[in-house]
Amino acid sequence: LLQGLNDIDWSESIKESQRNWIGKSIGAMVSFKVQSPESKVPSEKQIDVFTTRPDTIFGVTFMTLAPEHELVAQITTPEQKSAVAAYIEKTAKRSERERMADVKTISGVFTGAYAEHPFTKEPVPVWIGDYVLAGYGTGAVMAVPCGDERDYAFANFFKGQNGMPEIKNIFAPTSPPSEGCPKGGVDFAFSDKTGFTLINSDFLNGLNYKEATKKVITELEKLNQGYGKINYRLRDAVFSRQRYWGEPFPVYYVDGLPQMIDAKHLPIVLPQ
């Protein structure tokens, strides 16, 4: 579908809306092992995340699952069960469309669980929030507040609550620095893919976006905790009466059952 758009004589604006609908994203799958609440060592459970910014992995401050994520019931601690259940019930009353459109309301609940960072092995608190949708990606995000606006807003809103860590700075500006970049994303989310090199990022220090993305995928594969991946947003097919596509389709019904018109009668010529 995406490649076919190059071969049809539609306006560029319509083509671009179709590209956005298909939503091709190049990134990586990353697996975070869930820590056992008793021993604080990795359990058999893991949270799989699709991210378009694997280069920012050392800026992960927390994780957010969609309220509907299957792991929520399995990893929520007894102390947090009532709060999590109440939040899930509240979220169920809102449609995905409402949740996607509402960028101002910030809400979420700590599950009480922690995941282990693949490289630093530090505990990462796991929250649920309705800004994450179960139907897109894996229904989980690795939250990097210094590099994503919604993660930044979430981290600031719950700052100091339930072990929400301080925002980590992983960006150093290149010359000339991008606006605000000297503060490294700690005072705002710096989501550009250019204008910086990485700091506080172990083996990724000094690398840019492209260099770091390639290297971190290689290292994740060595640990068997990730790999490069292409994702698509497209979930539903759309049929249209516009332009050259002709509906109704060449189908007729006998006793309520659809029959295909014989090939010798095709193509059906549309009315003028």
pLDDT tens track for 155-199: 999 998 887 888 988 998 775 544 444 344 567 788 888 889 999
Query: For tokens 């840019």, what's the residue?
Result: 208
Report which of 228, 206, 204, 209 is spatially closest to residue 217, judged by C-alpha positions: 228
The CA distances from residue 256 to 27, 58, 209, 268, in Å, are 47, 60, 58, 22
Is residue 86 exposed (0-12), middle (13-18) or buried (19+ Cβ within 10 Å)?
Answer: exposed
Rounded CA-CA distance 19/196 in Å is 28
Q: What digits encode the pLDDT tens for the residues 188-239? A: 788 888 889 999 999 999 999 999 999 999 999 999 999 999 988 776 555 5
The two tokens of residue 177 are: 């620095």
Rounded CA-CA distance 239/247 in Å is 9
Rounded CA-CA distance 145/55 in Å is 14
Q: What digits encode the pLDDT tens for the residues 29-78? A: 999 999 987 767 878 899 999 999 999 999 999 999 999 999 999 999 99
Query: For tokens 């109440």, what's the residue?
Result: 86
Reported pTM: 0.78
Report which of 174, 173, 190, 191 is spatially closest to residue 182, judged by C-alpha positions: 173
Reply yes or no on whether the pLDDT at 111 is more than 50: yes
pLDDT the model gives residue 37? 78
The CA distances from residue 212 to 52, 116, 118, 177, in Å, are 12, 21, 16, 19
